[in-house]
A = this chain, B = another copy of it.
Amino acid sequence: MNSFNNVSDSDIQFFQQLLNERCSISHEDLKKYSHDETEDLEVLPQVVLKPNSPEEVSQILSYCNNRNICVTPSGARTGLSGGAIPLHGGVAMSMEKFDKILHIDEDNHQVTTESGVITQVLQEAVKEKGLFYPPDPASKGSCFIGGNVSENSGGPKAVKYGVTNEYVLNLEVVLPNGDIIWTGANVLKNATGYSLTQLMVGSEGTLGVITKIVLKLIPHPTHDLLMLVPFYSATEACKAVAAIFKAGITPSGLEFMERDALTWTQRFLNDSSIHVAENHAAHLLIEVDGFDPEKLMNELAQITEVLENFETDEMLFAESQAQKDTLWKLRRSVGEAVKANSIYKEEDTVVPRYELPKLLEHVKRIGNEYGFTSVCYGHAGDGNLHINIIKGEMSDEKWDNELSTAIRELFTEVVKLGGTLSGEHGIGLVQKQYMDIPFSETSLQLMRGIKNVFDPKGILNPGKVF
């Protein structure tokens, strides 16, 4: 482990001179930047800095690199793997001043944006021009696009449109030594050297600080249809997922929710719009989108036909935008509802989608063995299952001492199924202890080697990923 220098009074003086009121050591600020949305984790930085230009980021990094002060880039702190926690103190570098959309290029279907723009703000701005940036994590109303790039975020639309990395064309990055580079070019295809762009995507703020982002956009679909399907068996619901794709249909959303995920969220939101019957074990929320309403009706009919092979209760077809919004709000609030309900731990497993039923069985079996219950939901069309392990009746001692063994057992099964630890939340702090399961020591050494190329002194977001 690296040991870093504390931020001294003279360091603070330097930062204050550079940033004026955008340098803060108030307890309120230190507290605010001490955590993200990951359960039960908080480490105070020594100072919070809010640069507003790549040059300022460069000066800060260069200064800290020379003085061996560690720097944790901080976005909107909506992360779920602890990537933004300033584990070793030092500087928390907030990107919130990078909040400008620089150029919506309608001619080329691209947008150039600063990295601290809220994802939904970006989506709405390009939508006004008829353009679409699809990746839409549940936190889209507050998360930053730079954080999305750093975690290779997904969201419900990924099943049809792909995750963040398929949209990132080019990045302006400040390296730990202060050098500013562009990683690629503003083009749709690129065979020009190693893809530094793709390497930055998902690197969780450990290789450089992303200041500008060029994204590919596509025409915004004009219509969508949404249905909610109750199943009597969660396994059956998972099986239906692969069956829909095998029928040649690609929904724009295919979300799975176990019973408790839905009912807890209803309670959390005080929402009674959906009746969940006693014998409903799970629901699929299925969306299709496109440009031709008639075609979408056909697709929904095809999906309904596929679902006739499964035991389902009455399907709900959303009849208004308001009803669609309600259904999506329910889905998007599951994470918060689970959080509000109980002590829990969330895993972000991903497997080939046909293996979902097996994954679900493993979750329940391991839960029985170790004495925890679980609430599962997620982007089933992508094989991405968010597993919320609920403390419930489990003793503190078991929770503290045995849970990581149980999770290790679970991840081992996930990897056997062809899957891996995280589909969209990243490794950050909380999953790094499991990286030996999907990766050999050789692969981990390659990753550490890459880290060392970008950040030889290891000052940038130390203690994350591995």
Contact = CB atoms under 8 A, between A and B. Distances in A.
Contacts of A446: 175, 181, 196, 453-454
A216 to B, nearest CB: 10
Residues of A contacting B: mostly: loop
A139 to B, nearest CB: 14
Given A196-B443, A466-B193, A419 B453 contact: no
B422 A190 contact: yes
Interface stretch (A3-11, A105-113, A279-287): A105-113
B420 A192 contact: yes
A352 interface: yes
Given A106-B246, A446-B454, A450-B453, 17 more contacts: A107-B354, A153-B191, A163-B189, A179-B440, A185-B350, A187-B383, A187-B419, A189-B382, A189-B423, A189-B424, A190-B423, A191-B426, A192-B420, A192-B422, A192-B427, A193-B439, A196-B447
A199 B202 contact: no
Question: Quick one: copies of this chain in the complex?
Answer: 2
A241 to B, nearest CB: 11
B447 A194 contact: yes
9 contacts: A110-B352, A186-B419, A188-B353, A188-B383, A192-B421, A192-B435, A194-B199, A198-B201, A292-B295
A433 to B, nearest CB: 13
A245 interface: yes
A108 B352 contact: yes
B190 A195 contact: no
A189 B352 contact: no
A251 interface: no
A106 to B, nearest CB: 7
A105 to B, nearest CB: 7
A438 interface: yes
Nearest to A352: B108
Contacts of A246: 106-107
A427 B191 contact: yes
Contact of A419 (B166, B185, B447): B185
Interface in A138-195: 151-154, 158-159, 162-163, 165-166, 175, 179, 181-195
A242 interface: yes
